[in-house]
A and B are shown apart, each in its own frame.
Chain A
């Protein structure tokens, strides 16, 4: 019995966000995790004081950079994780729930990033 497959209107957009997020994550994530996740906490480098960090983040370009750094990789995760759930756990029949969870999560993360970066003095 022939069935009309559902049309996927937003898929090209999701894939583009996934790709952009993938590039941002590939280029920027390693150095950020190395510095803030390993080198600074382990004391390999001179500590980044609160005052110094605030001074760095003051510039609007830095805030935009951080916004992009937080937002796009979340969309990268959303798209990739969605398909991992489809193929890994074979739960494609829950695709509405999964889609909302993944992209909704990315949107919420983006909104939070925008709020946090906007409201810093």
Chain B
């Protein structure tokens, strides 16, 4: 006798619905299935109109972030067996506008990510003939943890400040800014500081710490933000005491 498990999935079709509502589906229960497998089963066999994002199904692309029983998870990395026999509630990622069903609008994150300039900034570029920018393993270790971010936005769904304050830059963007600030090849810390420190950017963070708990890649964005605050504060005092310092 085949076992099944209940999935409660948010449905929202802006043409017909005023607000999202949960729809129940009965899905086969396999011990090795993840929530994404269940969603794919629904779309293949039960209701082809269900809309959601997914891609690599192995926890590296960051596409399939959703709320599973109220917690932000990658659906490709969350096993049904963890919730069995109870129902599994799948909702769109929290604190983002819902476009349709489980699909959220992520432009706000994209804009904030771009704003922090997540690329190597150099005052003068070396020519190809001069060779590569070399880096020791120790220099890599300083920022490596922050470079593991897959932009899945689970941290944004975990962060209450992001939900309450539209000006807050958010965990992943600040962690990525810190990743480049701490990269020995980068010379853009000053530029990023001006963007992040003097606006709502980082100061709205109150170190709730849920972003780090939600992160599937152990990036520890909360730690990155606190370290950035410390750096920004030091820079601020330096700029007060040494106003003629190099900008």
Q: Is the interface of A mostly helix, strand, loop or mixed?
A: helix
Other-chain contact of A16, B198, B200, B204, B237 (Cβ < 8 Å): B237
Residues on the A chain within 8 Å of B232, using CB: 12
Interface hits, B147-197 → A, CB 8 Å: 160-161, 164-165, 167, 197
How many residue pairs link A and B with beta carbons under 8 A? The number is 46
CB distance from B189 to the nearest CB of A (A): 15
Residues on the B chain within 8 Å of A11, using CB: 197-198, 203
B227 close to A (CB within 8 Å): no
Instruction: Given A12-B233, A13-B236, A15-B203, decide whether A86 and B198 contact each other with a Cβ distance below 8 A.
Output: no
Contact with B along A9-49 (1 / 0, CB 8 A): 10111011001000000000000000000000000000000
B24 close to A (CB within 8 Å): no
Q: Give the docked Cα–Cα distance between A8 and B165 (Å).
A: 15
B233 to A5, Cβ gap below 8 A? no
A8 to B229, Cβ gap below 8 A? no
B53 close to A (CB within 8 Å): no
Q: Is the interface of B mostly helix, strand, loop or mixed?
A: helix
B164 to A5, Cβ gap below 8 A? no
A90 close to B (CB within 8 Å): yes
Residues on the A chain within 8 Å of B229, using CB: 12, 15
**Can you name the residue of chain B whose Cβ is closest to the Cβ of A80?**
B206
**Can you name the residue of chain B whose Cβ is closest to the Cβ of A3?**
B167
Residues on the B chain within 8 Å of A96, using CB: none
Q: Give the docked Cα–Cα distance between A48 and B198 (Å).
A: 49
A83 to B206, Cβ gap below 8 A? yes
**Interface size of A as a range:** 10 to 19
Instruction: Given A7-B198, A8-B198, decide whether A15 and B233 contact each other with a Cβ distance below 8 A.
Output: yes
B160 to A87, Cβ gap below 8 A? yes
Q: Give the docked Cα–Cα distance between A12 and B197 (Å).
A: 8
Residues on the A chain within 8 Å of B167, using CB: 5
Q: Give the docked Cα–Cα distance between A80 and B198 (Å).
A: 19
Instruction: Given A8-B198, A16-B233, decide whether A86 and B203 contact each other with a Cβ distance below 8 A.
Output: no
B199 close to A (CB within 8 Å): yes
Other-chain contact of A87, B200, B203, B206, B235 (Cβ < 8 Å): B206
Q: Give the docked Cα–Cα distance between A18 and B164 (Å).
A: 22
Q: Give the docked Cα–Cα distance between A87 and B235 (Å).
A: 27
CB distance from B13 to the nearest CB of A (A): 28
Contact with A along B206-247 (1 / 0, CB 8 A): 100000000000000000000001001101110000000000
Q: What are 5 A-B pairs at a CB distance below 8 A?
A: A6-B200, A8-B198, A11-B197, A11-B203, A12-B235
